[in-house]
Structure 1
Amino acid sequence: MKIESINKFTQNECDEVKQYSRQILYRNIGSEGQKRVMEATVLIIGAGALGSVSSEMLVRAGVKKIILVDRDYVEASNLQRQTLFSRRHAREKTPKAVGAKERLLEVRPDLELDVHIGHCDGPLLESLAAGADIILDGTDNFDTRLLINDVAWKLGLPWVYAACVEASYSSCGFVPGVTPCYRCLVPVLPSSTLTCDTAGIIAPAVQMAVSEQVTTALKILTGQYHAPHYMRIGDIWESEHSRFCIDRMKEEACPTCGGHPSYPALSEPSGQTMKLCGRDTVQVMDARITKASVDEAVDKMGIKVNRTPYFSEFYYDDARLVCFNNGRILIHDTDGIDRARTLVDQLFG
């Protein structure tokens, strides 16, 4: 069957559409489904393992626009599973949002792409989500997922959760007014204190989590995410895959999706100092940290500094500091919030 016989695109659209011909031939997408995909704007929070794979899948599927947020930069340990990045990105410590932009535009130069290097707090997430059709979770921590959940319900947007560690994966789609929310499921979610940085991960677990996630996103975007709705979990190493239905798990008193929502994650003040998940790293947000103040501090102390277009990196008191140009600093080689604040006060006080 020729593509011209199954689509309803204009002649001017045909050349563009040919790259999606196999997706259009798939009976559950078709030409109408492809049109919906090509009109969609997707907000992805995180450009690490999950966001790296999901963003490329969706770009290749034909979405109109990707909005991408990430606060970190590429390191050598990322390359085993974060498919958008190369050794050059790790060597140059390229911000993940910037490296992702390079690669995604190589895949599809016509893509509308809006990238943000920074911490995704409530105000930023809410402002970006207002221009999106769906949110994809590419994070690695519980607090940010609760924030995504509250923003999604407040704005009436669907979002798709995904997680992976070691060889395990999980994923689930949440739709306001249709499914329970993520907060309702928290008591039954797989619980673990393991992270990729402490327990490791294999790339197939990432691919499984994202395959489930992007499939759910395509169902939602094409209007085919119907009951029953499932949380899918598995262990790719042990070849164990299962699912459980979430449709009856709604908590009537839930502060996000219940009768009197208060969106508690949005009500909490944005953390100025926080430990990063599974890493000996503390992030500090402080308006004193500017490019000028960093240059002044390191010059005064005679500290050798590695400057990039996005941040300055140097060592101070046996800690590695990465100072971005927007009031944010990552303090590596420590997990102590008090010590992190002390170092910042010593440098910029």
Structure 2
Amino acid sequence: MERYSRQMLYNKIGVEGQRLIASRTVLIVGTGALGSLSGELLARAGVGKLILIDRDYVEYSNLQRQTLYTEKDADEKKPKVIAAKERLLEIRPDLEIDAHIAHCDGPLLEDLAEEADLLLDGTDNFDTRLLINDVAYKYGKPWVYAACVEASYSSCGFVPGATPCYRCLVPVLPTTTLTCDTAGIIAPAVQMAVAEQVTTALKILTEQYEAPFYMRIGNVWDMDHMKYRIDGMKEPSCETCGEAPTYPALDMKADVAMRLCGRDTVQVMDDRITEAAVDHAVGRLGTKVNRTPYFQEFHYDGYRFVCFRNGRLLIHGLDEMNKAKTLVNQLFG
């Protein structure tokens, strides 16, 4: 246990706290700026297993704040969960990691959440957070929210049976349509969000997360840091944690086409998009294809297509979903 000796010297952790951390499994949804850093901190803290979900790959614009990744990962357009797994195993070869290159939908999250002791939010969109919230409360799993944009950050832990849920807090959460891709972000905002998130995670993993409970928000540029109590915010009629929960986010069907938050990119999910179908399409068009172990990449009609092995593709340079569906039909119809 020499590796964790300094952490164990901290009187809130100790030998028993370290034992608890080592026995835990944490599911991280999204391995971008938030999820990659929280994964690294938990790996270094000695967590037993990480389950990672992310649908994207490493790009150069990520490297300013996503400290787990390198230029080599961006050159190879390596899926983030694969790059994260490789780097985390370099840091801690004994760490168990289950990596999923996938869009996070209800069935996948429900399946993976059953094994987890804790869920961490590494996403950048409201709908996925509602999905995490519903899965967490349906299965009685704690989860920790985090968000950041520009120089601001926020974080909060949610525990079924002890705290109100994320849906209860939606009316009082910081409201913004800004994203990192439209408004930018500085790395210290990411690190502050993750510092709050992982500290809360360690409290939960060592069974020390107790009332009063707080939402924490701040702006690192202005040096403003605040917290407000959430204990009394539970709504009896809440569809997730109220008297008759229905977990509505789990009933939402994923759209065939959806815009990625803040980017000129549309994701399309279609069973016709197979490796063989892509080879046939690019062969018919006489288009060059770039192959990686994880996807095929080619250009068509002025757009860049990245086709994964599971019937999912990203069309870069496009923000119209109907146009995306038309392009897919032209290629694979």
TM range (shorter): over 0.9
Deviations 1:38-76 (A, max 9, x none): 000000000100001000000000000000000000000
* Mapped partners of 1:85, 1:196: distance in 2: 17
Within the candidate set 24, 27, 51, 1:43 is matched to 27
Describe how 1:143-154 pairs up with structure 2 within 5 A: 143-154=127-138
Ranges in structure 2 where 5+ consecutive residues have no aligned partner: none
Structure 1 gap segments, 5+ residues each: 1-16
Whole-angstrom distance in 1 between the partners of 2:93 and 2:282: 40
Q: Is structure 2 residue 231 aligned with structure 1 residue 237?
A: no
Is the aligned partner of 1:168 residue 2:152?
yes
- Which letter maps to 1:331? I
Give % identity: 70
1:271 Cα deviation (Å)? 2.1
RMSD: 0.5
Q: Distance in 2 between matches of 1:97 and 1:221?
A: 23
Matched position secondary structure for 1:190: coil
Out of 166, 172, 193, the position equivalent to 1:188 is 172
Which residue does the alignment assign to 1:282?
Answer: 266
Q: Structure 2: how far apart are the matches of 1:222 and 1:308? A: 41
CA distance in 1, matches of 2:329, 2:273: 10
Q: Which aligned pairs between 1:87-166 and structure 2 lie closer than 5 A? A: 87-166=71-150
Give the structure 1 partner of residue 289 of structure 2.
Answer: 305
> What whole-Å deviation, never above 9, does each CA across 1:165-194 have from its counterpart, x for those lacking one?
000000000000000000000000000010
SS state of the match for residue 248, structure 1? helix
Instruction: Give secondary structure in 1 for the equivalent of 2:290.
Output: strand
Query: TM-score, normalising length from structure 1?
Result: 0.95
Alignment partner, residue 306 of structure 2: 322
Instruction: Report the number of matched residues.
Output: 333
Deviations 1:151-176 (A, max 9, x none): 00000000000000000000000000
Q: Residue 320 of structure 2 corresponds to which residue in structure 1?
A: 336
**Equivalent residue number for residue 202 of structure 2:** 218
4+ runs of 1 displaced by more than 4 Å? none
The whole-number CA distance in structure 2 between the counterparts of 1:184 and 1:79 is: 35
Q: Is 1:18–2:9 an aligned residue pair?
A: no
Which residue is 1:8 aligned to?
none
How far apart are residue 83 of structure 1 and its match? 1.1
Displacement, 1:272? 1.8
Equivalence map 1:55-94=2 (5 Å): 55-94=39-78
1:179 aligns with 2:163: yes
Instruction: Report Cα offsets for 1:309-334 as digits up to 9, x if no partner.
Output: 11111111111110111100001101
Counterpart residue identity of residue 312, structure 2: R
Separation in 2, partners of 1:242, 1:313 = 45
Counterpart residue identity of residue 200, structure 1 = G
1:13 alignment partner in structure 2: none
Output the amino acid matched with 2:210.
H
Amino acid at match of 1:258: G
Q: Distance in 2 between matches of 1:322 and 1:343?
A: 13
Describe the SS at the equivalent of 2:15. helix
| TM-score w.r.t. length of structure 2 | 0.99
**What secondary structure does 1:183 align onto?**
helix
Output the CA distance in 2 between the equivalents of 1:135 and 1:325: 26
1:238-277 map, 5 Å = 238-277=222-261
Distance in structure 2 (CA, Å) of the matches to 1:223 and 1:60: 19
The structural deviation recorded for 1:270 is: 2.1
